[in-house]
Amino acid sequence: MAKSSVLGYPRIGANREWKKALEAFWAGKTEEAVFQEQLREIRLNHLRKQRDKGIDLIPVNDFSYYDHVLDTATMFGIVPQRFAYKGGVVPLSLYYGIARGTKEATASEMTKWFNTNYHYIVPELDGATPELTENKPLAAYREAKEAFGIEGKPVILGPLTFLKLSKGYKPAETDAWLDRLLPLYVQVLRELANEGVQWVQIDEPILVTKLAADDLKRLKTIYETFSAAVPELNVILQTYFESVENYSEIVSLPVKGIGLDFVHGSAGNLSAIKQFGFPADKVLGAGVIDGRGIWKASLREKLALLDQLAGIVSSDRLIVQSSCSLLHVPVTVEQETKLSAELRGALAFADEKLNEIALLAKAVNSGASAVALELDQSERDVQALKQSEERNRKDIQKAVTEIASKQPERHSPFAARQATQQAKWQLPLFPTTTIGSFPQSAEVRKARQLWRKGEWNEKQYADFIRDQIDLWIKLQEEIGIDVLVHGEFERTDMVEFFGEKLAGFAFTQNGWVQSYGSRCVKPPVIYGDVAFEQPMTVEETKYAQSKTDRPVKGMLTGPITIMNWSFVRDDIPREQIAYQLAYALRQEVEALENAGIGMIQVDEPAVREGLPLKENEQAGYLAWAVKAFRMTTCTVQDTTQIHTHMCYCEFHDMIDSIEEMDADVISIETSRSHGELIHSFEINTYKLGIGLGVYDIHSPRVPQVAEMTNMIDRALQVLDPKLFWINPDCGLKTRGQEETVASLRNMVEATKIARAKHS
């Protein structure tokens, strides 16, 4: 009999109970014992729900107090040296200090989890002496069994992936680090086996990327070691986000099961399994339900795929499961009562995916006739949205096709534009600016709530927003910022704001997902053809510019970021969605320019995260991503300065593409990665305007002038001073007013020091 399973369940709770508990604890409003009990109740509710939905193999240890990679590091006592860790169980204060920073020590680097919008805390191995501080998977297993009698499936991040995602060691030290970690992993697995655990899921998503021969040898060593140490334990080696590389080597490893993604890696994995077969002594975890998308599956299509697999793998060796953890989707559609019936009927969040998985497992075991009504309803729901007017706007499709057929180019090359812009703006050496947003205080959030509830009328809310703009224009002038921003007080989210004003978008009431830590986002849903309807940012930007003689940047979110930070339709290529967005945003850029705004920032922080994991697909993606950005910005005058911003991911392998975007100024995060990106510019020259973020806005600490001066000095060793800007590394929405003002004052002071050195 086939079994059902998921690879992980969302942590945040149906009403973001997890987020609220964390933030209350951080604020000192909740005692630690109370906090621990709150999180325990959330965990148990998740287990209960999966049990009641009929999931056979329920994951445990997928829950986290912040991040599962950080959990793995602290379980092994891997704590950055600057935190003066003395060994033993890592207390919550230290755990959260690593993630968020303290007054004494900076937080660890945070970066994207493969090609998703989830961020993990990067482990720092330098100087660490690993030890098993606590067996977290065992504690999670015991909790599930004691509470509900659930025979849980502990989830563990695999050693190869953990090492490849870590920093603070040289490539030549990889084997030495593996030698240190393997006994600790074995100890965890031995204790699980002694407890009577049946299945353990070891996640190795790194296997869908290209691995060197040495890494394949390490992989073999790892799993041969595990097999020899705990032969009685059923280990399922789990991959996701793409098809595996080196299929034959991976399926020959001495494990009891292999988990493959048959959604995002369907073509490659299906081809490999047909060509090479599947070992008769292993179970196949077939990830057929999309763990990253929100759309209902065509269950008849999924059942046909499972039938193909059943011709290779007998049903008693088949696990029907999600393609990856459900961490990446909202919890339930049940609360989405305001969506149209057509759209709501086509959605499946985490809880609905549990139903789909259980239903497919039942169909495999009992035949399609046993679930015929459900299969038919699934097909009707999928087709209803596909045939809707919103997905078939011929006017938009025709216009986008015509524009996309041409290569978008600015009127003049950068050097000519830069001279023209400097003549117009007369900016000082090392111009200072910020990324766009200023603190969204409780007062700002309350005002928006009053307006949305109808307790404030449009004029009351507009007057309030103008008061906030007045305040922060004055503060920026007093601090000494050169290029100002209006602060984005009218915006809830940098993607949601634009989606609310464009056709083709829908918005959920409670479709939250975790981005990093307690930071949750509610991605818009791009369900139809995207179209511009009316100016979206002109009113506030024009007002801000009227209050100062200094330039004020117009602020937009770029087409690739809107796409990558939304849940997008799956019936047309993502490239086509990007071009629709670019066409709509181009009209907004032109509206800003026509209103007299001469600097316009089109943020693209999410370009890198959309990069395909397969090397042979990356150049194609970058080509159309760059094209979409240029489609958005190419029609402006030479005197109009186009800015963009990118943050929190590895950029060293796409510097050329960033330059191809042809923005006049780009700002890039470097502070949390401690300036490592600067090394990229030591190897690759960059000829356009650039600002490397000089302090980390995600940490509550106020950075010292000396810290920023050191960052600036190193950057200026490899970048042209005449093209260098100074700015924070991201927007300041989540910070308080006092710390924001103090940090910016220090940034301006550091700028003055730099100007004195280079004048």
Q: Any idea which residues carry the catalytic annotation?
A: 698
Bridge partner list, 568 = 526
- Is 18 annotated as contributing to ligand binding? yes
Q: How far apart are CA 461 and CA 473, in angstroms?
A: 18
- Is 112 annotated as contributing to ligand binding? yes
752 Cα distance to chain centroid: 35
Six-digit token string for 396: 């938009």
Tell which residue, 47, 256, 105, has the closest CA to residue 700.
Answer: 105
- Is 17 annotated as contributing to ligand binding? yes
- Is 609 annotated as contributing to ligand binding? yes
- Is 565 annotated as contributing to ligand binding? yes
Six-digit token string for 353: 């995916």
- Residue 676 and residue 682 in contact, taking contact as beta carbons nearer than 8 Å: no
- Is 16 annotated as contributing to ligand binding? yes
Type of residue numbered 471: L
Give the other-Cβ count within 10 Å of 734's Cβ: 14
Report how far apart the first and last C-alpha atoms of the chain are (Å, whole number). 76
- Residue 309 and residue 2 in contact, taking contact as beta carbons nearer than 8 Å: no
Q: How far apart are CA 449 and CA 432, in angstroms?
A: 33
Bridge partner list, 1 = none
Q: Which residues contact 24 (CB under 8 A, 6 or more apart)?
A: 30, 35
**Reduced to 3 DSSP states, what percent helix, strand and coil does the chain have, rounded to the nearest 5?**
50, 15, 40
- Is 271 annotated as contributing to ligand binding? no
- Is 520 annotated as contributing to ligand binding? yes
- Residue 592 and residue 643 in contact, taking contact as beta carbons nearer than 8 Å: no
- Is 634 annotated as contributing to ligand binding? no
Q: How far apart are CA 143 and CA 149, in angstroms?
A: 9
Six-digit token string for 718: 């490899």
Six-digit token string for 147: 């509470």
- Is 405 annotated as contributing to ligand binding? no
Give the other-Cβ count within 10 Å of 306's Cβ: 22
What is the C-alpha R_g of the chain? 26
Q: What's phi and psi for 151, nearest 5 deg? A: -85, 80
DSSP label at residue 556? E
- Is 539 annotated as contributing to ligand binding? no
Q: What's phi and psi for 691, nearest 5 deg? A: -125, 120
- Is 730 annotated as contributing to ligand binding? yes
Judged on CB neighbours under 10 Å (0-12, 13-18, 19+), 685 is exposed
Q: How far apart are CA 320 and CA 354, in angstroms?
A: 11
89, HSE (Cβ side, Cα atoms, 13 Å): 5
Q: How far apart are CA 273 and CA 251, in angstroms?
A: 10
- Residue 525 and residue 343 in contact, taking contact as beta carbons nearer than 8 Å: yes
DSSP label at residue 313? S
Query: Where is the binding site for Zn(2+), in residues?
Result: 645, 647, 669, 730
Query: Where is the binding site for L-methionine, in residues?
Result: 435-437, 488, 603
Query: Where is the binding site, in residues?
Result: 16-19, 112, 117, 435-437, 488, 519-520, 565, 603, 609, 645, 647, 669, 730
